[in-house]
Amino acid sequence: MKAPEEFKASSGNPLGKFPSLKDGEVRVYESGVITEYLCETYDKENRLIPKDVDERIKVLQWLHAAEGTFMIHSLAITYARWNIPKQAQDDGVLEQTENGLAVNVQKDLDWLETELSFSQGSFLCGEHVTAADTMMQFSIDFILVTGLGTQGREWPNIQKWLKACKETVTFRKAVEKSGYELTAKRPEAN
Per-residue pLDDT tens for 164-180? 999 999 999 999 999 88
181 secondary structure, DSSP code: -
Looking at the chain, the domain(s) classified CATH 1.20.1050.10 span 53-178
Band the pLDDT of 37: cuts 50, 70, 90: very high
pLDDT at 185: 54
Query: Quick one: which H or E segment has residue 143?
Result: helix 131-146
For residue 69, how far is the Cα from the chain centroid? 10
pLDDT band at 78 (very low <50, low <70, confident <90, very high): very high
Looking at residue 190, its pLDDT comes to 46
The DSSP symbol for 58 reads: H
> In the structure, what pLDDT confidence band is assigned to residue 2 with cuts at 50, 70 and 90?
low
pLDDT tens for each residue of 106-161: 999 999 999 999 999 999 999 999 999 999 999 999 999 999 999 889 999 999 99
Computed over every residue of the chain, the mean pLDDT equals 92
The pLDDT of residue 51 is above 70: yes
pLDDT over 90 for what percent of the chain? 78
| Region label for 46, one of left (φ > 0), alpha (ψ between -120 and 50) or beta (otherwise) | left
What number is the average pLDDT over the span 62-80? 97
Helix (H) or strand (E) holding 120: none
pLDDT at 9: 77
Taking the model in full, what pTM does it have?
0.88
In 3D space, the residue among 105, 129, 101 whose CA is nearest the CA of residue 43 turns out to be 129
Pick the CATH number of 53-178 from 2.40.50.100, 3.40.50.300, 1.20.1050.10, 3.30.460.80: 1.20.1050.10
Closest Cα to residue 105, out of 78, 133, 70?
A: 70
Q: What are phi and psi of 29, to 5 degrees?
A: -135, 160
Using N-to-C axis directions, what is the helix angle for 53-65 and 131-146, rounded to 10°?
20
B/e letters for 150-182, b = 16+ CB within 10 Å, e = fewer, are: beeeebebbeebbebbeebeebeeeeeeeeeee
What pLDDT score was predicted for residue 4? 75
